[in-house]
């Protein structure tokens, strides 16, 4: 009997860990997120949990400069139409920039430039030893033209890019040289 109770308690404890809402503190705990995508080519590891109408996302990425992540609903012309988030250091502190990609290639623009807003509601990041650890929260759908809705269960395209400088007006290395990538993702 005692053995059974102990087992039940353990199962409950694991369930509590697995389903707890992630804490946005720039530390990604083992099993903190429900889903993990290991992107071998870039070395990025992406985690996410969908809770009601909210996306809790985290990633680690090795980069001397800014780190970028994005998603596309339907890819029609390279990276055109992608929601983009760039994490960098400004005035000595990590920031996350909410951006949108209009052109097929070249730089994304801040959502604010087209009447949108930064839709990230919680954010924490650390950049130590050239490795980013990032956690953020965003509504699945923001209602803004400058964002792409995250639709759970639908096949989407994840974009990953990083730079060796913190200045987001400077491009990542070319995709052909290992600075930018696409990967299939289903949130």
Q: Is 161 in the site for ligand HEM (CB under 6 A)?
A: yes
Report the residue number, 7 or 105, with the smaller CB distance to ligand HEM: 105
| Contact pick of 33, 100, 182, 187 for ligand HEM (by CB under 6 A) | 182
Query: Rounded CA gap, 115 and 98, in Å?
Result: 12
22 in Cβ contact with 32 (< 8 Å): yes
Query: Rounded CA gap, 87 and 118, in Å?
Result: 13
CB of 85 to ligand HEM, least distance (A): 6
Q: Is 79 in the site for ligand HEM (CB under 6 A)?
A: yes
Report the residue number, 33 or 182, with the smaller CB distance to ligand HEM: 182
100 in Cβ contact with 111 (< 8 Å): yes
* Sign (positive or negative) of CA dihedral 81, 64, 35, 23: negative
CB of 181 to ligand HEM, least distance (A): 6
Q: Is 107 in the site for ligand HEM (CB under 6 A)?
A: yes
Q: Is 174 in the site for ligand HEM (CB under 6 A)?
A: yes
Strand arrangement, sheet containing 180-186: 109-110, 93-100, 83-90, 67-72, 155-162, 180-186
Query: What binding mask, one character per residue, do residues 54-73 give for ligand HEM by CB under 6 A, x or -?
Result: --------------xxx---
Burial class (CB in 10 A: 0-12, 13-18, 19+), 125: buried
Strand partners, 127: 132
Report the residue number, 126 or 181, with the smaller CB distance to ligand HEM: 181
Q: Which of 88-96, 119-127, 147-155, 177-185 is the region at the interface with ligand HEM (rule: CB under 6 A)?
A: 177-185
Which two three-digit tokens encode residue 157? 């395209």
Q: Is 109 in the site for ligand HEM (CB under 6 A)?
A: no
Write out the residues near ligand HEM by the rule CB under 6 A: 68-70, 78-79, 84-86, 105-108, 159-161, 168-172, 174-175, 180-182
């Amino acid at each position: 009997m005692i053995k059974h109770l102990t087992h039940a308690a353990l199962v409950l404890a694991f369930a509590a860990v697995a389903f707890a809402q992630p804490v946005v503190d720039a530390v990604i705990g083992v099993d903190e997120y429900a889903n993990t995508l290991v992107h071998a080519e870039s070395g990025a590891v992406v985690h996410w949990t969908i809770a009601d109408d909210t996306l809790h996302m985290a990633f680690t990425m090795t980069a001397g400069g800014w780190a970028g992540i994005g998603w596309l609903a339907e890819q029609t012309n390279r990276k055109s139409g992608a929601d983009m988030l760039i994490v960098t250091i400004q005035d000595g502190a990590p920031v996350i920039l909410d951006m949108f990609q209009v052109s097929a290639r070249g730089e994304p623009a801040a959502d604010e430039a087209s009447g949108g807003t930064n839709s990230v509601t919680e954010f924490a990041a650390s950049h130590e030893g050239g490795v980013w650890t990032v956690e953020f929260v965003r509504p699945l759908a923001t209602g803004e033209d400058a964002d792409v809705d995250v639709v759970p269960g639908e096949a989407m395209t994840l974009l990953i890019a990083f730079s060796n400088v913190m200045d987001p007006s400077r491009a990542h290395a070319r995709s052909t040289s290992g600075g930018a990538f696409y990967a299939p993702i289903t949130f």
